[in-house]
Structure 1
Amino acid sequence: MDVLTLQNFAGCVGQAFDLSLGESTVPLTLSEARPSAQQILPGMRREPFSLLFRSHSAIVLPQQIYRLKNMSLGILDIFLVPVARDKDGIVYQAVFN
């Protein structure tokens, strides 16, 4: 995929994504895919959107680009930022402008 869009992810909410950490993986679940409130500007290649992924691990990974693998979308490199922690684990966000 050249340009990822909200439509690419909309049907994947609830699906598993495997985050690669070299020899090991961290399972994530895509919990939300929603359009951004940001105004669409002339020349933008896509409508801005954000994704929320949930990890049931207590370990917080630093913000950086991670390689994710999903059954529907294949392998993607996505910049993830930890944005919340609760009793169920860590929430990571990806924002696409």
Structure 2
Amino acid sequence: MSIITLEQFAGCVGEAFAIEMNGSSIVFTLTEARPLPETGFAGVRRVPFSLLFKSGSQVVLPQKIYRLNNVALGLLDIFLVPVARDKDGIVYQAVFN
């Protein structure tokens, strides 16, 4: 299994990531990919980073691992947490450290 990096996602901001659930597809848009402050621990295998995804639905999905499909990156299992809501939908965050 390869290590997921910020660089992989940086070029996908604005792209769709689809989740198949109960026979239908929910589309998230990657809205942000940014580095996080480094932990200071020696030997880390990647720079910590955060991703924000936006769903156009007002239905809040529970935090858990979802299988996301993106044209460029393929299938990825990512732990998503709902972190905000606005008039346009729900924002989910994934943190990699």
Residue-pair matches, total: 97
- Matched position secondary structure for 1:13: coil
Equivalences for residues 1-97 of structure 1 within 5 A? 2-97=2-97
Contact 1:40 1:48 in 2 (8 A): no
- State the Cα distance separating 1:40 from its structure 2 match: 4.1
Tell me how far apart the structure 1 counterparts of residues 88 and 40 of structure 2 sit (CA, whole Å): 34
Tell me how far apart the structure 2 counterparts of residues 5 and 24 of structure 1 sit (CA, whole Å): 29
- Matched position secondary structure for 2:9: helix
AA aligned opposite 1:9: F
Tell me how far apart the structure 2 counterparts of residues 87 and 7 of structure 1 sit (CA, whole Å): 30
User: Can you list the C-alpha shifts for 1:40-70, whole angstroms capped at 9, x where unaligned?
Assistant: 4212111100000000101000000000000
- Matched position secondary structure for 1:50: strand
Please provide the CA RMSD for this pair: 1.1
- State the Cα distance separating 1:22 from its structure 2 match: 4.0
- Matched position secondary structure for 1:90: strand
Unmatched 5+ stretches in structure 2: none
**Dislocated runs of 4+, deviation >4 Å:** none
Unmatched 5+ stretches in structure 1: none
- State the Cα distance separating 1:38 from its structure 2 match: 3.7
Tell me how far apart the structure 1 counterparts of residues 2 and 80 of structure 2 sit (CA, whole Å): 19
Tell me how far apart the structure 1 counterparts of residues 42 and 27 of structure 2 sit (CA, whole Å): 37
TM-score, normalization: structure 2? 0.95
